[in-house]
Amino acid sequence: MTQLEGFVLTPQGFVRGRLEHEQGRIAGIRGTAVSESEVRLGAHELPLLLPGFIDTHVHGGGGRDTMEGADAISAISRMHARHGTTSLLATTMTAPLDDIRRALRALAPVCEQRETGAARVLGVHLEGPYINPGKLGAQPDFARTASLAEIQALHALAPLRLITLAPELPGYLDLVSQLSAAGFKVQIGHSLGTYEDGVAALEHGASGFTHLFNAMTGLHHREPGLVGAALAHARFSEIIPDLLHVHPGAMKVALRAIPCLFCVTDSTAAAGMPDGEYRLGRHQVTKCMGGVRLADGTLAGSTLTMDQALRNLVGLGLEIEDASRRVSTHAADYLGLDERGRLQVGAWADVVVLNRKLELQRVLVEGDEIDLENA
């Protein structure tokens, strides 16, 4: 039995005491319930223990890209673990089908077995190629028409946990229904759809929105667009809180409107790396001034890490408990993972330990300590 001491954030609130874990699971949480205000004003030597971060949108990190295949995902999952991400979805790019197949084959063994020192790769987020070619954003121009059979064939190569598509494309509403019935989770994104298209997609089984505000039709008071559909009707949606992709004011609108808005990094190979040139699928991108862009200036993913996402949310005025849910618990609930994203007995011992500046001190993935310097 191993234990950690501090202010432990449980589903019922903070406890001043200790968290015990063994064989990768939380075995006990013991202590006295305290309010968040007491945590903020309490003993400064005690750290905060929060659920490990869950990122459903990871293209890369540490200089590597998920589309590279080979051992890229190992480097990516290790880099993100050093920033508190204990579980993630490896996210593909729009590309020729052979490139996607090759990437999925490389991802499959890592989805089956977590590597020591790395985040758990829960599966794949297929972001493209089933998107609107008129709203590629930073996706390469290889959009193609989807079919249930093709998606099932890709799923046979590696577990697809999340699929982004544009619901306004011909036949896609029926496809959303078919995918939902088959157990796939569908997100709306990279789309020129209207408000009505977004509402119809939700009614047909779509369950969320891919990087809200970005690569979708915006909100106008006479044409609410997909952003309006999300704000009016969504329970879950991704958002990139790097303060570049979305203005803080727009983030506050979304936080008020969408109950389970959750954060993703949309991170690229440039995350955790110095300024310079990197790959994003078939694109060359440039990291500079805190962002990643194509040659024409289009934002192309981010350099965000989830520990910084947490700090950004608290900087916007969120309580620590609320911010923690938006970098962990809501994503776990969205994916149906009741043993992750929360510190409670029986759950996986995915834990981040932070100081009062919300800087990482320790990270545990399924009870295993991550070397924050050399993972």
Residue 122 token pair: 């829960």
The 10s digit of each residue's pLDDT in 9-35 is 999 999 999 999 999 999 999 999 999
Instruction: Tell me what pLDDT residue 44 has.
Output: 64
Distances from the Cα of 37 to the Cαs of 7, 33, 45, 251, in angstroms? 12, 12, 16, 24
Q: How confident is the model at residue 248 (pLDDT cuts 50, 70, 90)?
A: very high
The 10s digit of each residue's pLDDT in 82-136 is 999 999 999 999 999 999 999 999 999 999 999 999 999 999 999 989 999 999 9
Q: What distance lies between CA 69 and its chain's CA centroid?
A: 20
Instruction: Tell me what pLDDT residue 284 has.
Output: 87
Cβ-proximal residues to 27 (8 Å cutoff; 6+ apart), any chain: 1, 20, 21, 345
Strand duo 351-354 + 360-365: pairing: antiparallel
The 10s digit of each residue's pLDDT in 268-283 is 999 999 999 998 888 8
Instruction: Tell me what pLDDT residue 299 has.
Output: 86
CA dihedral (42, 47, 49, 54) positive or negative: positive
Half-sphere exposure of 134 (CA within 13 A, CB side): 8
Q: How confident is the model at residue 296 (pLDDT cuts 50, 70, 90)?
A: confident
The whole-angstrom separation of Cα 35 and Cα 133 is 50
Instruction: Compute the mean pLDDT over every residue in the chain, rounded to the nearest whole number.
Output: 95
Query: Domains plus CATH for the chain?
Result: 2-49+357-369 (no CATH), 52-341 (3.20.20.140)
Is the pLDDT at 155 greater than 60? The verdict is yes
CA dihedral (244, 249, 253, 258) positive or negative: positive
More confident residue, 4 or 288: 4
pTM, two decimal places: 0.96
Instruction: Tell me what pLDDT residue 43 has.
Output: 59
Q: Is 266 a catalytic residue?
A: yes
Whether 163 and 185 have beta carbons less than 8 Å apart is answered as yes
Of 3-17, 180-194, 267-281, 357-371, the least confident: 267-281
Is the pLDDT at 179 greater than 80? The verdict is yes
* Helix orientation angle between 172-181 and 148-155, rounded to the nearest 10 degrees: 40
Q: Report the Cα–Cα distance between both ends of the chain, in Å, rounded.
A: 24
Cβ-proximal residues to 29 (8 Å cutoff; 6+ apart), any chain: 8, 10, 15, 17, 18, 19, 20, 343, 344, 345
Coil, helix or strand at residue 332? helix
Whether 194 and 222 have beta carbons less than 8 Å apart is answered as no
Q: What are phi and psi of 90, to 5 degrees?
A: -70, 125
Average pLDDT over residues 299-326: 96
Whether 344 and 8 have beta carbons less than 8 Å apart is answered as no
Instruction: Tell me what pLDDT residue 91 has.
Output: 97
Catalytic residue (choose from 65, 99, 266, 307): 266
Q: Diameter of the chain by CA atoms?
A: 60
